[in-house]
Structure 1
Amino acid sequence: MVPPLDEDSLIARFFAPIAGPGGLGLKDDAAVVVPPPGQDLVVTVDALVAGGHFFAEDPPASIARKALRVNLSDLAAKGAEPLGFTLALALPAGWTADWLQDFARGLGEDAAGFACPLLGGDTVKAAGALTLSITAFGAVPAGRMVPRTGARAGDRLYVSGTIGDAALGLQLRLGRGAAAPGNEHLLDRYLHPQPRLALRDALRRHASGAMDVSDGLVGDLAKMMRASGASAEVDLAAVPLSPAARRACDGDAAAFDIAVTGGDDYEILASVPEGEAEAYEAAAAAAGVPVAAIGRVVAGSGPALFRDRGGTPKAFARGSFSHF
Structure 2
Amino acid sequence: MSPSSSAQLAAPHPGVRVLALALGFLLTMTPMDVGYADLFHLKDGRVIDGSILRELGDLISIRSSEGEVITIDRSQIVKTERRLTPLDQYRTRLQQLDPAKIEDQLNLALWCDSAELKAQALKHWKMVVQIDPDHDQARSVLGYVWIGGDWFLRGSEGEKKRRAELEFDPATPATVIPDILKLPDWERPASGELPELPPLPILGADRVVVTMDEKLGRSAPERSGMTYHLRRMGGKLQFVAGKDDGKVPVVLKIKIRCYFVRLETFYGAPIANIFQGEAKAQFFERNSKGDMVLRKTTTMRIPFSSSAQRPKEQALQFTYYVTLETVAARISRWSWMKQRGSRSLPMPDSP
- State the structure with bigger RCO (CA 8 A, min sep 6), 1 or 2: 1
If the TM-score is normalised by the length of the shorter chain, which range does it land in?
under 0.3
- More helix per residue: 1
The structure with the largest alpha-carbon Rg is: 2
More strand by share: 2
When normalised by structure 1's length, the TM-score is: 0.22
